[in-house]
Chains A and B, each alone.
Chain A
């Protein structure tokens, strides 16, 4: 069962007198399975944020269809209410942690979405406490958001989304503005949510973050350049380099070693394991040379 399915989606931002229209997405099709972890990669301007906006129904595509939880949201006769219903299933965490927090107290902000849904007060209270517990921010429930670090703010935003009991969360470059500490905190939280069965779509330009996904889509100039498991996608670094994208550092190293004739696999993303693989390959080579 697919949580989100895009079929031949195209989208252009309308131009004006000085700017021509910009084609942001061109015939993009993708499937996001329920409970899966999908990463969408691409450099700036590749159309990945537009894709996120379409998956959240903030924008409607020019052509093609968006199917959320089996329901075609681009079909005729879709009302405002249907869109709201779909939005209850798919949540989004944005790039700038400051610009998505509404309230002046952490727990009030986490409650905001639930309040909009008209959930009874006692139930909101329970969900907010639970959500804060999940992201590890219970201690800060009564704090003012502006005094938190970037990673903490982003975790508050995540808590706000999970308190609404969303099936799917889209992270639109949610780690891009964070320091390494904050990034790690947020990524750990994302992993945890995925383990609990929430469908995760991680939009990023950090290749290392994409290695944890079940499936990777690489966007370039509004088209899907390549897709597959991380091992599939990164085993062909040339394609990515041609699209001026990086591959994970481990892949790059292993790829270059392989060109020099060392027999190593490409799909090892963990630095420790990568070191071990190289060590083993060197040992093997030595015995082979010696023999």
Chain B
């Protein structure tokens, strides 16, 4: 049986976001996070939300998939919202019932924080995980951090390790299944008993898996040596990343967004976000 293992959450597609240079996407993601954290009033938050909607539309990825991405942090979102609603003290008391005191500032803060977390997750994953393959991301990171090699940081080695890890994940998953089936055929029981019993049952799976992983590592090292691999020095690449007009447009767009946020913070009124 061939499994279809997708790493991360990459969604196949040909949108403009998919086609951006991974280096540009990394820079954009970082700048975007900064812009999100700069926003501090209703208008700048509105601008952020608007831009997030725009990015979602551009990516062509269905809101269903994006919704699934938020699910794991739902608890965190609800928790921070509740904390803000009940514990922020302000000037405008809305509900005063025994010890429960809800202020308008608390509600505003909760709303802002929820928006912040949601936009943060949606936009970073739209730029990085949904529209960029892990391998492109690794490549982008390697080339973006290449100058660090000058101060003896092994950038190429790290990216090679990442690439090999990504390459072997499906192979090792397949192997794990094989070993588990083999142990099941000999009467191993992986699905009953308590946590400790189940963990113990996995030992006969992990031992052969590790042994074979080490053997694979040895084989791979030999094969790489045979193919003249001597580390990052003097290496060229077949696919060289080239930043195009659209990449610059996007980076400038995000910078403009940040500037817009700062301006709106300064010159527009409305509800403010902050700790009271």
Contact = CB atoms under 8 A, between A and B. Distances in A.
15 contacts: A88-B228, A91-B226, A98-B216, A99-B216, A99-B223, A102-B164, A102-B223, A102-B224, A108-B239, A111-B237, A113-B228, A118-B236, A120-B236, A121-B240, A164-B228
B220 A102 contact: yes
A108 B164 contact: no
Nearest to A88: B228
A263 B171 CA distance: 53
Most chain B Cβ neighbours within 10 Å, of A84, A102, A125: A102
Q: Which of A58, A87, A116, A117 has the most CB of B within 10 A?
A: A116
Nearest to A147: B2
B251 interface: no
A94 interface: yes
A98 B163 contact: no
A244 interface: no
Contacts of B236: 114-115, 118-121, 124
A84 B2 contact: no
Nearest to B212: A99
Contacts of A285: none
Contact of B167 (A94, A101, A107, A125): A101
Interface size class of A (residues with CB under 8 A): 35 or more
Interface string B153-189: 0000000000110110011001000000000000000
A104 B238 contact: no
Which secondary structure characterizes the binding site on chain B? helix
Interface residues of B, number: 32
A42 interface: no
A114 B5 CA distance: 29
A103 B230 contact: no
Interface string B81-108: 0000000000000000000000000000
Nearest to B218: A99
A39 B207 CA distance: 37
A58 B170 contact: no
Interface string A63-103: 00000000000000000000010011001101010111111
A26 to B, nearest CB: 23
Given A116-B235, A121-B238, A103 B228 contact: no
A222 B166 CA distance: 39
Interface centre among B170, B226, B237 (most CB of A within 10 A): B226
Contact of A164 (B2, B223, B227): B227
A16 to B, nearest CB: 17
B228 A116 contact: yes
Nearest to B224: A102
A118 B230 CA distance: 11
Contacts of A104: 134-135, 163, 166-167
A170 to B, nearest CB: 9
B227 A113 contact: yes
A83 to B, nearest CB: 10
A161 B163 CA distance: 20
Candidate in B220, B222, B236 with the most chain A CB atoms within 10 angstroms: B236
Given A99-B216, A111-B238, A160-B227, 11 more contacts: A91-B227, A102-B224, A103-B167, A104-B166, A105-B135, A116-B227, A116-B230, A121-B237, A121-B239, A145-B167, A164-B228
B229 interface: yes
B222 A102 contact: no
Interface string A214-253: 0000000000000000000000000000000000000000
B234 A118 contact: yes
B171 to A, nearest CB: 5
A9 B74 CA distance: 67
Q: Which 7 A-B pairs have the closest CB atoms?
A: A99-B219, A100-B223, A111-B238, A113-B227, A146-B170, A124-B238, A116-B228
B230 A84 contact: yes
Interface in B203-228: 215-216, 219-220, 222-228
Nearest to A120: B236
Interface in A263-281: none
Given A58-B222, A94-B219, A102-B163, A108 B228 contact: no
A140 interface: no
A120 to B, nearest CB: 6
